[in-house]
Structure 1
Amino acid sequence: MNTRARNETAHESAEDGESRSLPPARLAFGAATWKEISHLLLNLPVDLLAFAFVVIMLTLGLGLSVTVIGLPLLAGGLLGCRLLGRMERARVRGLLGVSIEEPRRLRARETGVLGRLWTTIKDPVAWRHALYFFIRLPWGVLTFTLTVVMLFLGWPVLPWAARGLANADRAMARALLSPSDELERRIAELESDRGTVVDTAAADLRRIERDLHDGAQARLVALAMDLGLAKEKLLEDPDAAAKMVGEAHGEVKLALQELRDLARGIHPAVLTDRGLDAALSSVAARCTVPVRVSADLPARPAAAIEGIAYFTVSELLTNISKHSGARSGSVDVWRSDDRLLIQVRDDGRGGASAEAGSGLAGLAERLGAVDGLLVVHSPAGGPTTITAELPWRDREDARAAR
Structure 2
Amino acid sequence: MTESSQLTDPADDARDGVSLPPPRAPLSSWTWREIGYLLANFPLDVVAFVVLVVWLAAGLALSVTVVGVPLLATGLTACRQYGRLERARARSWLGVAVDEPSRLRPREHGFFGWLWTCLKDPVAWRHALFAFVRLPWGILTFAVVLVSLFVGWPVLPWLARWLSNVDRAMVRGLLSPSDELERRIAELESDRVAVTDTAAADLRRIERDLHDGAQARLVALAMGLGLAKEKLLEGRADESVAAMVDEAHGEVKLALQELRDLARGIHPAILTDRGLGPALASLAGRCTVPVTTSVDLAERPAAAIEGIVYFTVSELLQNVSKHSAARQASVEVWRSRDRLLLQVRDDGKGGARLDGGSGMAGLADRLGSVDGLFVLDSPAGGPTRVTAEVPWRPRPGERPEGGRGKGARGRR
**Structure 2: which amino acid aligns with 1:333?**
V
**Structure 2: which amino acid aligns with 1:203?**
A
CA distance in 2, matches of 1:29, 1:237: 105
Counterparts in 2 of 1:255 and 1:103: CA distance versus 1, 3 Å: closer
Counterparts in 2 of 1:172 and 1:202: CA distance versus 1, 3 Å: same
Are 1:236 and 2:230 counterparts?
no
Q: Could you state the TM-score of these two structures normalised by the residue count of structure 2?
A: 0.67
User: 1:302·1:393 contact (CA, 8 Å) conserved in 2?
Assistant: yes
CA shift for structure 1 position 129: 8.3
CA shift for structure 1 position 192: 0.8
Which of 213, 221, 225 is equivalent to 1:223?
221
Counterparts in 2 of 1:142 and 1:310: CA distance versus 1, 3 Å: same
CA distance in 2, matches of 1:341, 1:250: 43
**2:197 — aligned with what?**
199
CA shift for structure 1 position 30: 10
Give the 5 Å matches for 1:236-255: 236-255=236-255
**Structure 1: which amino acid aligns with 2:265?**
G
Q: Secondary structure at the match of 1:294?
A: strand
CA shift for structure 1 position 358: 3.9
CA distance in 2, matches of 1:338, 1:171: 36
CA shift for structure 1 position 102: 5.5
Give the 5 Å matches for 1:241-390: 241-355=241-355, 357-390=357-390
CA distance in 1, matches of 2:154, 2:173: 31
**1:56 — aligned with what?**
none
Are 1:174 and 2:172 counterparts?
yes
Worse-matched range after superposition: 332-341 or 345-354? 345-354
Which of 136, 140, 147 is equivalent to 1:149?
147
**2:403 — aligned with what?**
none
Q: Secondary structure at the match of 1:187?
A: helix
Q: Secondary structure at the match of 1:197?
A: helix
**Structure 2: which amino acid aligns with 1:201?**
A
Are 1:92 and 2:86 counterparts?
yes
Counterparts in 2 of 1:222 and 1:44: CA distance versus 1, 3 Å: closer
CA shift for structure 1 position 259: 0.4
User: 1:271·1:278 contact (CA, 8 Å) conserved in 2?
Assistant: yes
CA shift for structure 1 position 127: 11
CA shift for structure 1 position 176: 3.1
CA distance in 2, matches of 1:131, 1:102: 16
Q: CA RMSD in A?
A: 4.3
Counterparts in 2 of 1:382 and 1:396: CA distance versus 1, 3 Å: same
Q: Secondary structure at the match of 2:396?
A: helix
**1:39 — aligned with what?**
41
Counterparts in 2 of 1:184 and 1:25: CA distance versus 1, 3 Å: closer
CA shift for structure 1 position 294: 1.2
Counterparts in 2 of 1:132 and 1:151: CA distance versus 1, 3 Å: same
Q: Secondary structure at the match of 2:263?
A: helix
CA distance in 2, matches of 1:106, 1:91: 20
Q: Could you state the TM-score of these two structures normalised by the residue count of structure 1?
A: 0.68
CA distance in 2, matches of 1:132, 1:224: 72
CA shift for structure 1 position 239: 2.3
User: 1:331·1:343 contact (CA, 8 Å) conserved in 2?
Assistant: yes
CA distance in 2, matches of 1:363, 1:90: 31
Any gaps of 5 or more consecutive residues in structure 2? 1-25, 53-75, 93-97, 108-118, 399-412
Structure of greater Rg: 1
Q: Secondary structure at the match of 1:381?
A: coil
Worse-matched range after superposition: 332-341 or 319-328? 319-328
Cα displacement string for residues 129-148 of structure 1 (whole angstroms, at most 9, x for unaligned residues): 89979997995675244134
Counterparts in 2 of 1:94 and 1:160: CA distance versus 1, 3 Å: farther
User: 1:326·1:346 contact (CA, 8 Å) conserved in 2?
Assistant: yes
**1:19 — aligned with what?**
none
**Structure 2: which amino acid aligns with 1:396?**
P
User: 2:333·2:342 contact (CA, 8 Å) conserved in 1?
Assistant: yes
| More contact order relative to length (CA 8 Å, sep ≥ 6) | 2
